[in-house]
Amino acid sequence: MRRIVLTVDVEEDLNQSHDGSSYGVRHALPEIIDILEEKGLECHFFVNGRMCKEHAALIRRISDRGFGVGSHGMDHSVPYLCARDEAWQRQSLRVATDLVTKTIGKPVRTFRAPNFSVNTTTIRVLEGLGYRIDSSVLPGRVVRKARLRKILDFRRAPRNPYHPDPSDLLKEGNSSILEVPVTENPLNPGAPIGLGYLNSYGLDKTLRALESAEGKLLVFLMHPWEFVNLASIHSHLPSWVKSACRHQPTLLASFLSRLEKRFQLTSLEPLLESNDL
């Protein structure tokens, strides 16, 4: 039976809303936590610094209830860390790390970059800050600026956890960081398998995507803003967002129940001691 890690990126609402609201965190995150607790499931939450400032009590609740908590950078105002130099990344990630650590009262050792925008510089910075796990690489993902210059290209990335090469993020090497790639959706290449896909395409198709995905370990991605009817708050959003962002607690609960029967759910930290990656 393959293993799967449930993850939640705790951040402001989708960038298309343009107003920096955190409606999803305020109204959906507590319910997501309750659903996970009712089912006794493990989950890892990547929290950005801004949410620690605005919703500290809620972030502490996540940690106090035994869920894993990692850093998700400061916020999404700078969408791509990999476009910034080492000094900027070090300063930004240090501030974010300090905010999460202060909020939950213990060190953070796991990280996910906004928009999966990690590079070798980020890995080097994370090593210096004492991180042990990164989960930012999304195999198959390519981002171009103005359709010309590539901002990132993860098409060669491994599908299984690995220690990156210091000079090439997409090759195995001797970094102290364990890279745990986000699972690429084989039914939607270059994109993750997550709650937005479940909302849009339903239970059976989402399970089919997971079962046909590559990798010994799968990573499922959720955002609080995907668990609210975001179009009712931001009327100008594109049609795909309207289908991906919906409040469907029964669907999520049913999906998690089916997931338990098909996969072994695990958390991130034990992977550091695993010999079967």
CB burial of 177-210 (b: ≥16 within 10 Å; e: otherwise) equals bbbbbbbbbebeeebbbbbbbbbbbeeeebbebb
* Phi, psi for 190 (deg, rounded to 5): 85, -5
- Residue 46's pLDDT is what? 98
- Proportion of the chain above pLDDT 70, given as a percent: 96
- Residue 128's pLDDT is what? 97
- Residue 277's pLDDT is what? 57
- DSSP structure string for 150-193: EEEE-TT--SS-BPEETTEEEEE---SSEE-PPPB-TTSTTSB-
In the predicted structure, residue 41 carries a pLDDT above the cut 60: yes
- Proportion of the chain above pLDDT 90, given as a percent: 84
* Phi, psi for 81 (deg, rounded to 5): -60, -35
Residue type, 177: I
In the predicted structure, residue 237 carries a pLDDT above the cut 90: no
- C-beta separation of 104 from 242 below 8 A: no
- What confidence tens digit (pLDDT) does each residue in 145-192 have? 766 778 999 999 999 999 999 999 999 999 999 999 999 999 999 999
DSSP state of 221: E
Instruction: Report the alpha-carbon distance of residue 122 to residue 124 in Å, rounded.
Output: 5
Q: Angle 44-212-115 (CA atoms, 0-180°, nearest 5)?
A: 45
- Count of other CB atoms within 10 angstroms of residue 276: 7
Residue given tokens 């709650």 in the structure block: 195
DSSP state of 277: -
- What confidence tens digit (pLDDT) does each residue in 191-222 have? 999 999 999 999 999 999 999 999 999 999 99
- Residue 17's pLDDT is what? 47
Domains and CATH numbers, the chain: 3-273 (3.20.20.370)
